[in-house]
Amino acid sequence: MKLGIVGLPNVGKSTLFNSLTKAGAESANYPFCTIDPNVGVVAVPDERLRLLGDFYQSKKVTPAVIEFVDIAGLVKGASKGEGLGNQFLANIREVDAIVHVVRCFEDTNVIHVDGSVAPLRDIETINLELIFSDLEILERRMAKTTKVARNDKEAAKELEFLKKVKAHLEEGKMAITMKLETEDELAYIGSYNLLTYKPVIYAANVCEDDLADDGHSCAYVQEVRNYAQEQNSEVFVICAQIEQEIAELDDDEKKMFLEDLGLEESGLEKLIKASYRLLGLISFLTSGEDETRAWTIKVGTKAPQAAGKIHTDFERGFIKAEVVNYQDLLDCGSYAGAREKGLVRMEGKEYVVKDGDVILFRFNV
Ligand code: GDP
């Protein structure tokens, strides 16, 4: 699961990316934090893991992770190939969701590519490039479908849909804001892999002073919120510069630093958690003396497939899952205690795994 960080030059993408990978790497002790200079594997903050790890006195605690990709270089004209634009757009096509960083801070030392801070204009500049790029994809698809549609009803239906999407994009709107009416339409749009159909989180990068009230007194942030609301997208207020400083601190220092700012958790932690949610992901947990670990699955995953995340043999030989909710387990004080109270359930192949399930899989080898 990958998220791409996009935005105009000089809005704070690299600063955010660096603090994400740094914070993720340190808190998780993750060995392969950087695969590639532009790709970072980031731990998903999860208090449950620490508590469960203490409960079992596990030797190792391993968090769930997601990947962030720093997609620099998107500028006006990118879809026309300007500044290696097409390459960057191709990178965005490979991600599952987008974090769009928007500059909401004033700083005369940091040049703005368009001369002034104007969040709405910036968002529209980037989104327009995404729209242009999608229009190209649609046109190619339409050309192909038109040929087939002459004697194929199914293709004729798709062609009508393609026209509808094209008209929508031509109004300067993102595909994600389209009202889709049928299963077919959902299937079609999913198959085009449009940039403007990917879920987006807007990260409003504010100055330090605007952090305390979550950007509510900042007119720039309000612009972003108004825009995002129309798209049903979430907005997160961060200060990339502060996040970079926080990422350098150890846990105790970090806590004090955040308290001084009047915050409970860092903007990065909130952003990572929100990204995880946005991708429709949840974690189930396995725990024992050797290791307590969070495993990532999509909402709706059934027990055998969840087992398969651990090992393909677990899925193939799946018999049943012994499941207890993490909070129930901690409340009972021991596994035996949870079992006595009937809180440890035996679940079969059709069981849909829930966030926070602690699972022991039974399987044949
Ligand atoms: P990118 O081009 O979007 O990757 O932007 P960078 O992360 O390289 O940031 C561009 C410049 O803006 C750098 O000099 C950063 O130090 C500065 N910068 C980034 N975030 C902030 C912020 O929250 N406040 C201020 N004042 N400067 C920032």
CATH assignment of the domain containing 81: 3.40.50.300
Would you say the CB of residue 12 lies under 6 angstroms from ligand 1? yes
The mean pLDDT value for 240-257 works out to: 89
93/241 same-domain check: yes
**Which of 144, 168, 194 lies at the terminal end of a domain, its last residue?**
194
Q: Cα–Cα distance between 106 and 101 in angstroms, integer?
A: 15
Nearest to 298 by CA among 277, 310, 315, 281: 281
93/33 same-domain check: yes
Rounded to the nearest whole angstrom, what is the distance from the C-alpha of residue 347 to the centroid of ligand 1?
50
Rounded to the nearest whole angstrom, what is the distance from the C-alpha of residue 89 to the centroid of ligand 1?
22
13/108 same-domain check: yes
Would you say the CB of residue 177 lies under 6 angstroms from ligand 1? no
230/95 same-domain check: yes
Residue-averaged pLDDT of the chain: 90
Tokens representing residue 212 in the block? 């305390």
Phi-psi category of 81—alpha, beta or left, where left has phi over 0 and alpha has psi -120 to 50? Answer: left
- Answer whether 341's CB lies under 8 Å from 324's CB: no
pLDDT value of residue 30 = 46
Q: Cα–Cα distance between 39 and 68 in angstroms, integer?
A: 6
Would you say the CB of residue 7 lies under 6 angstroms from ligand 1? yes
Would you say the CB of residue 336 lies under 6 angstroms from ligand 1? no
Instruction: Please report whether residue 290 resides in a domain.
Output: no
The mean pLDDT value for 35-48 works out to: 81
The answer, yes or no, to whether residue 29 has pLDDT greater than 70, is: no
167/34 same-domain check: no
Segments forming the whole domain that contains residue 240: 1-43+63-112+197-277
Q: Are strands 318-325 and 357-363 parallel, antiparallel or unpaired?
A: antiparallel
Q: Cα–Cα distance between 149 and 132 in angstroms, integer?
A: 25
Residue bearing the CA closest to ligand 1, atom 22:
241
Q: Cα–Cα distance between 21 and 66 in angstroms, integer?
A: 10
37/87 same-domain check: yes
pLDDT tens column, 187-196: 999 999 999 9
Count of residues making up the chain? 365
12 annotated among ligand-binding-site residues? yes
238/354 same-domain check: no
pLDDT band at 263 (very low <50, low <70, confident <90, very high): confident
**DSSP 3-state assignment of 3?**
strand
Q: Cα–Cα distance between 56 and 138 in angstroms, integer?
A: 54
Rounded to the nearest whole angstrom, what is the distance from the C-alpha of residue 356 to the centroid of ligand 1?
37
260/334 same-domain check: no
Tokens representing residue 55 in the block? 């409960």
**Which of 171, 194, 217 lies at the terminal end of a domain, its last residue?**
194
Instruction: Please report whether residue 236 resides in a domain.
Output: yes
Atom of ligand 1 nearest to the CA of 238: 23
Q: Cα–Cα distance between 100 and 98 in angstroms, integer?
A: 6
Taken in order 127, 134, 87, 273, is the CA torsion positive or negative?
A: positive
161/99 same-domain check: no
Q: Are strands 34-36 and 39-43 parallel, antiparallel or unpaired?
A: antiparallel
The whole model's pTM is what?
A: 0.88
Q: What CATH number is associated with residue 170?
A: 1.10.150.300
pLDDT tens column, 62-106: 999 888 999 877 778 777 766 556 778 888 999 999 999 999 999
The answer, yes or no, to whether residue 26 has pLDDT greater than 50, is: no
How many domains does the structure of the chain reveal? 3
